[in-house]
Amino acid sequence: MSLFTRKSLLSLMLCTAVLFSGSALASTGVEKRPEVQQFIQDMVKQHNFSQQELTQLFSQVTLLPKVIASMNRQAEALPWHRYRKIFLNDKRIQAGVKYWQDNADVLLRAEQKYGVPSEIIVAIIGVESRFGEHKGDNRIIDSLTTLAIDYPRRATFFTNELKEFLLLAREEGFDPLTLKGSFAGAMGKPQFISSSYRQYAVDFNNDGTRNLMTSHEDAIGSVANYFRRHGWQTGEAVAVPAKVSGNDYKKWVDKGYQPKIALRDARNMGVSWNGSFPADEKGALIELEQKNGPEHWLALQNFYVITRYNHSQHYAMAVYQLAEEIRKRHVKMTTAAAM
């Protein structure tokens, strides 16, 4: 099976003709890298790709040192009080309310089908791409190739994502030379990586394609499907503020954001919160750095599900708090309009 559709193959042929014309730059040489040659051989053997087409494709790839730099200075490393300000601001909250209003019917349909609240879906798209306004300007093929061969710490992961990207391009009829996304290769309004796109994206507007680039319907449905498939518990809490005393609670903090301790045992560790939960329900204790000292939250299963989108407790808390602010303002505006 060919990697390309007729349209994308024509595009590749035209680009290749220009690439080798007298007025154009010479081949980038990426296709000659041993890692790339091995990758091409693997794709030919394991997935029936054309060696010639892949060689032509990689001859047009440009390695991006800025991608490596971006990987080494991600926002999630910031202290919470600084990270929070990136996403929790009036402009993004108001944009979230408008996005909800503009897509109310689709969000309601997604909530009814997948059990994920509208505000969570909206917040994810708001954090990821500012509601579709900032989807990334790096060619995905460039970003993923750079990370696969020049970022040893996560080379295995990004080599797999490069494979997933080429499979996705073949399945969906995308031109792999034109798709753009984030420095890490995420794409579309919800910023799905290629493996997530293949596994969790849905055709929510029933037009025969899974289009996360321009379709709000597909983006909304795909986010909801992603959360349901990762164990979202409909109607259950995400996180609640907690108070701590003594020193035993620190052992719980050290266990990370995955719910591991039954709540019946938590109060014996000097942790308290408002609200009632089943004694055998498991939770995590999150510590967030504020300017005047740490604050603590009891994080439950739905909080952990959010971290499946981005493995950071800062990210999950930003999504949750943004969702809450958007929900509150949306309810207020809806109530006012009904009066």
Which residues are marked as active site?
128
- Give 327's Cβ-side CA count (13 Å radius): 13
Q: How far is CA 40 from CA 148, 207, 289, 335, in A?
A: 13, 33, 46, 58
